[in-house]
Amino acid sequence: MKRELKTTMHCLFCTALFLFFLTGNSQAGIDGITGTTFALTVKTGRVNTPDGASLLLWGYANGNDPAQYPGPTLIVNQGETITITLSNELTVTGTGPAPNVSMVFPGHQATSSLSNPGVPGILANEARPGDSVTYTFTATHPGTYLYYSGTDPALQVEMGLLGAIIVRPSDGSSYAYNHPDTQFDREYLFLLSEMDPRIHEVVELDGAEGLAATDYLSNPFPVVWFINGRNAPDTLDQPGTGSLPNQPYNSAPLVHPGERLLMRVIGGGKDLHPFHHHGNHARIIARDGRLLESIPGAGPDLSHEVYTIQSVPGETVDAIFQWTGKGLNWDIYGTPEAGPQFVHDCTDGDADDYDDTTYEYCPDHGKKFPVILPDNLDLAFGGFYSGSPYFGNLGSLPPGEGGLNPFGGYAFMWHSHTEKELTNFDIFPGGLMTMLVIVPQGAPIP
């Protein structure tokens, strides 16, 4: 049984990735909504998980759109005054009223407006059922932030009320902060969270009051883990896919060698999720939307490299990741011994050790692949294997094998290093996991 499930999961995973490459419609950068005035609505929806479950969602929606998990990513510019009107259209099981809802903005000095103040709550002013509240804050500092419900957050964050905020610096949208060392070529969001289905079931069947008879809120036991509101392998499916109507965001990072990939990592849930990024170290440049700098203006001079980002609930981390193959000690673009098609130069005009076009690491140029590959008859294949160990090359494969890696890229798993979180309700693989694919220069990245 377990083996069958594993096989099924594997196929799902392959199918998702196949669609992702076939359609070329993966999420470009970070999907979200822009502007200075937002109208968000809290309503119910469903979170579909790959183990076959469908969990009740309380989600933020963009106006009249469906509720979504996570809520809309708000992309704003430094210095702007942001106004958010939150409407409460939540409906609940049972005879009692729907709860109040709210938003808090850690790192921002938010206030509720005098004209639509809502009602006071513990952490923020709240919108009563059928009513609304308007919040205002100034995006004084660039960086990665989050928002979530400040109303009974132990319950409402669990139910899905959380989302990301990105503040673009005045230096421009290719910078994370106002310093040259924070420039990036591509950026991806990794909003990490978890759910305990028992809580969602009680709220759906009995209403939130039913939780009082349990210890689920004080001692949650999550069994599904998310990146950007999806579990693997759905993380790799297209954004906005019809099978996940309330989970519009995916997590499918693609990058060329040498490019600077900005990882925006947010701890959205209640647990720490050590986010382990295979392929290379990443340099942490900021936490909680503040550069790691010794004095203002110094730039990220206190930055440091890690291979597992410590993601803390409610905190954010910005990190720069680069991959070139440096240090592998063999020529990933192939050597003439492997065939005439691999003859190539490594031209380092600017003396940075890298080819000026392909970003090949020139000190490894011409070094032979150090392994004698077994015959195809002696191999089992994964969907990512291109049939060749060489970067950007497609080799021959038995019928029906491979096919998920049309550009001959290298795939690296990015995942929670709390390994039990690589499952969907105890079924491996899944959960808080996606694949970074390094693709050759020239391969399209949407």
Partner 1 sequence: MNRMTILSTKGAGLLLFSIFFLTPMVSLGVALTAIENEWNPPNGAPAVKMWGFIRDRGFCPPDPALWSPGQAQRGSVGGNFSITLRNCLSEPVSLIIPGLESTLAPQTFVDSKGRTRVRAFTKEVPADNGATVVTYTWKNLRAGTYLIQSGSHPAKQVHMGLYAALVVGMHGDADNEAVLLFSEIDPALHAGAEAATPLNYKPKYFLINGKSGIPGYPAPATFGGKPEQTLHLRFLNAGLMTHVPTLQGPYMQIFAEDGNPYPYPREQYSVLLPAGKTIDALWRPATHKFYPLYDRRLSMTTNGRAGGGMAHRLEVPGFPWYLYVPAIMHQKQ
Q: How far is the CB of 284 from partner 1 (least distance, A)?
A: 12
Site string for partner 1, 320-359 (x = CB under 8 A): ----------------------------------------
> Quick check: 219 binds partner 1 (CB under 8 A)?
yes
For residue 409, what are the CA distances in angstroms to 98, 279, 280, 398?
A: 50, 12, 15, 19
* Smallest separation (angstroms) from partner 1 to the CB of 118: 16
Helices assigned H by DSSP within 258-351 = none
Quote the radius of gyration of the chain (alpha carbons, Å).
Answer: 23
**Does residue 154 bind partner 1 (CB under 8 A)?**
yes
The rounded distance, in Å, linking the Cα atoms of 108 and 372 is 57
Is the four-CA dihedral 361, 363, 369, 371 of positive or negative sign? negative
**Amino acid at site 84:** I
**Position 387: which residue type?**
G
- DSSP per-residue letters across 90-108: ---SSSSPPPPB--B-TTS
Q: Report the SS3 class of residue 236.
A: helix
Residue 343 Cβ vs partner 1, minimum distance, rounded to whole Å = 51
Q: Does 288 help bind partner 1 (rule: CB under 8 A)?
A: yes
Residue 161 touching partner 1 (CB under 8 A): no
Binding region for partner 1 (CB under 8 A) out of 155-163, 318-326, 350-358, 423-431: 155-163
101 burial level (CB within 10 Å; 0-12, 13-18, 19+): buried
157 in contact with partner 1 (CB under 8 A): yes
377 burial type by CB count under 10 A (0-12 exposed, 13-18 middle, 19+ buried): exposed
* Residue 417 in contact with partner 1, rule: CB under 8 A: no
Find the part of the chain contacting partner 1 (CB under 8 A) among 107-115, 180-188, 390-398, 426-434.
Answer: 107-115
Structure tokens at 258: 């040498």
Kindly state whether residue 270 participates in binding partner 1, applying the rule CB under 8 A. yes
Cβ neighbour number for residue 428 with a 10 Å cutoff:
17
Phi, psi torsion values for 276, nearest 5 degrees: -95, 120
User: For partner 1, which stretch binds (CB under 8 A), given 169-177, 267-275, 338-346, 434-442?
Assistant: 267-275
Q: Which stretch binds partner 1 (CB under 8 A): 25-33, 145-153, 275-283, 330-338?
A: 145-153
Site string for partner 1, 294-323 (x = CB under 8 A): xxx-----x-------x-xxxx--------
CA distances from 201 to 53, 67, 296, 430, 431 (A): 11, 18, 49, 21, 20
Report DSSP state, residue 233.
T
Going by C-alpha positions, the residue among 160, 150, 110, 113 that lies closest to residue 133 is: 113
What whole-number distance in Å separates Cα of residue 360 and Cα of residue 358? 5
Instruction: Report how many residues bind partner 1 under the rule CB under 8 A.
Output: 44
Q: How far is the CB of 223 from partner 1 (least distance, A)?
A: 17
Choosing from 95, 218, 243, 396, the residue that interacts with partner 1 (CB under 8 A) is: 218
Instruction: In whole angstroms, give the CA distance from residue 378 to residue 390.
Output: 19
Stretch of residues binding partner 1 (CB under 8 A), selected from 214-222, 242-250, 356-364, 373-381: 214-222
Tokens 């759109």 appear where? 65
Q: Please give the structure tokens belonging to residue 172.
A: 């421009």
198 binds partner 1 (CB under 8 A): no
Asked if 129 is part of the footprint of partner 1 (rule: CB under 8 A), the reply reads no
Which of 211, 254, 262, 433: binder of partner 1 (CB under 8 A)?
211
Please say whether the beta carbons of 147 and 163 come within 8 A: yes
Candidate residues 8, 23, 64, 214; the one interacting with partner 1 per rule CB under 8 A: 214
Whether the Cβ atoms of residue 263 and residue 276 lie closer than 8 Å to each other? no
The only residue of 29, 66, 79, 106 in contact with partner 1, by rule CB under 8 A: 106
Residue 198's SS3 state is: helix
Stretch that binds partner 1, among 99-107, 185-193, 222-230, 255-263 (CB under 8 A): 99-107
Q: Give 47 or 104: the residue with its C-beta nearer to partner 1.
A: 104
Q: Which is nearer to partner 1, 135 or 412 (CB)?
A: 135
Give the range of 53-61, 205-213, 252-260, 343-351 binding partner 1 by CB under 8 A.
205-213
Binding mask 64-83 for partner 1 (x = CB under 8 A): --------------------
Least gap, CB of 209 to partner 1 (angstroms): 9
Q: Which stretch binds partner 1 (CB under 8 A): 170-178, 283-291, 402-410, 411-419?
A: 283-291
Phi, psi (rounded to 5 degrees) for 311: -95, 115
End-to-end CA distance of the chain: 39
Q: Which residues bind partner 1 (CB under 8 A)?
A: 104-110, 122-124, 150, 152-158, 208, 211-219, 270-272, 287-288, 290, 292, 294-296, 302, 310, 312-315
